[in-house]
Structure 1
Amino acid sequence: MTDPQLPPPYGSAPAVPPAYPGAPQPPSYGAPSGAQASPFPAPVGAGAPFPPAPQAPPGAYQVPVGGYAAPEGGYALPPAAAPQKSGLLGILALVFALLAAVASPVVAGIAGFEIGTRIPSGFDTTDPNFLSVLSPARDQVLWAEIAFWAGTVLGLAGIVVGIMAIVKKQRRALGVVALILSVLGAGVYWIVLTISLSLGTANGLGA
């Protein structure tokens, strides 16, 4: 016995009372015989189930569950290239080294030639009157001293910056070349100055 306030159970429809005594009872619409049962439940109060769900024909292509997997060994984007390091330290070290090993000896050579020409008799650094002996070429002596101290400072700067360029891998080749030139700069200075003084002295004696 069912509660009259509850809806009728699934698959059954309430009986429709006849309009007048003796009227024919309407037919009951139930599920046709031989029909395939639907996987979906029948709505409340409905006598006929939903039509059967369509099935894929045999041999049809079906999407795999979970989607498509990425193929192994397929095309992949190349890794991002590492940012190229700046070569400022290597270039700066080479500039300092060239100024110390080339520019400074050139200035010293020009000044030394003029000193030898103006003082052909030579001079002795232990002479008490050494400064008075250099008076005819005091400007050239001053330029030779400026070239020496400038070359010393630039050579030290080339050594320090060259080492930094090698350690930080910023144009290491230039850093190595700058380091070698800076170390050799002092020796090149004195060789050029000595040769230029000798040539200047020979030129002064021959004049």
Structure 2
Amino acid sequence: MSDPFVPPGGPLPSADGARPTPQGPTIDSGAPVPQAPPPGAYRVPVGGYHAPIGGYAVPAPVRPSRRTGALALASAIVATLVTPIVAGVLALQIGLLVSVDELVSVTGDVVIAALSPARIETLWAEIMFWLGTALGIFAIVAGIIAIARRRGRGMGIAAIVIAALGPVLFFLAVTLMYGIGNGIAFGSTI
């Protein structure tokens, strides 16, 4: 059996650079020859090291979940679309029950007591306002987290943009629907 630590070309050359041959005399090749390791040194096997069998292997990279971005986007959509629609329907009902002339005094102050005929609708419209606000703030925070942690980055960006448009759409829907309801109930005929 051959020695696994002897290179394929035979034994290593001596310190003077001559390589021993199987026939006996040494031949000087003139090329620089690597030095032999010192006695007791650890030598590398001829074929290199073998791959470990059944040992540690680098795990495959885990793709982060996009759940944070999806949650942010869902809450932004609810805050921007659902709450203004519900509040707009409620504002239409409030407009049918409460006149602008009753709601605003001669000095320009708002008379809250004028909303008493529509107190349930007013309460639900306020609940929709605060629900939309809470969901919008949550969507913005969750969108920032999704962007920073790369967990649904595109959905996080979309959630922030959509949630930023929410207050504009809410007040536009409520104002427009209240005006339509008030025009239907208390409008003048020509």
Secondary structure in 1 aligned to 2:185? helix
Report the CA distance shift for 1:67/1:132 in structure 2 as closer, same or farther (over 3 A). closer
Q: Name 1:112's counterpart in structure 2.
A: 91
Calculate the TM-score normalised by the size of structure 2: 0.63
Q: Name 1:124's counterpart in structure 2.
A: 104
Q: Provide the identity percentage.
A: 34
1:156 aligned onto 2:142: no
d(CA) in 1 for partners of 2:68 and 2:120?
36
CA RMSD of aligned residues (A): 2.4
Higher normalized helix content (fraction of residues): 2
d(CA) in 2 for partners of 1:117 and 1:89?
42
Q: Name 1:7's counterpart in structure 2.
A: none
Gapped regions of structure 2 (runs ≥ 5): 1-44, 50-57
Contact 1:118 1:204 in 2 (8 A): yes
- Summarize deviations over 1:157-193 as a string: whole Å, max 9, x none: 0000000000111111100010001111111100000
d(CA) in 2 for partners of 1:97 and 1:141?
24
Paired letter, 1:137 = A
Report the CA distance shift for 1:86/1:137 in structure 2 as closer, same or farther (over 3 A). same
Q: How far has the Cα of 1:100 moved from its partner?
A: 0.9
d(CA) in 1 for partners of 2:46 and 2:150?
49
Q: How far has the Cα of 1:82 moved from its partner?
A: 1.7
- What is the 5 A alignment of 1:17-56? none
Q: Name 2:82's counterpart in structure 1.
A: 103
Q: How far has the Cα of 1:205 moved from its partner?
A: 2.4
Paired letter, 1:113 = L
Secondary structure in 2 aligned to 1:134? helix
d(CA) in 2 for partners of 1:121 and 1:67?
96
Q: Name 1:179's counterpart in structure 2.
A: 160
- Summarize deviations over 1:95-145 as a string: whole Å, max 9, x none: 1101110111011101100010111344127547x2321111111111110
d(CA) in 2 for partners of 1:173 and 1:68?
49
Calculate the TM-score normalised by the size of structure 1: 0.58
Gapped regions of structure 1 (runs ≥ 5): 1-65, 71-78
4+ residue runs over 2 A deviation: 66-70, 125-128
Contact 1:120 1:200 in 2 (8 A): no
Q: How far has the Cα of 1:83 moved from its partner?
A: 1.4
Indicate the structure (1 or 2) with the bigger Cα radius of gyration: 1
Count residues in correspondence.
133
1:195 aligned onto 2:173: no
Q: How far has the Cα of 1:203 moved from its partner?
A: 1.5
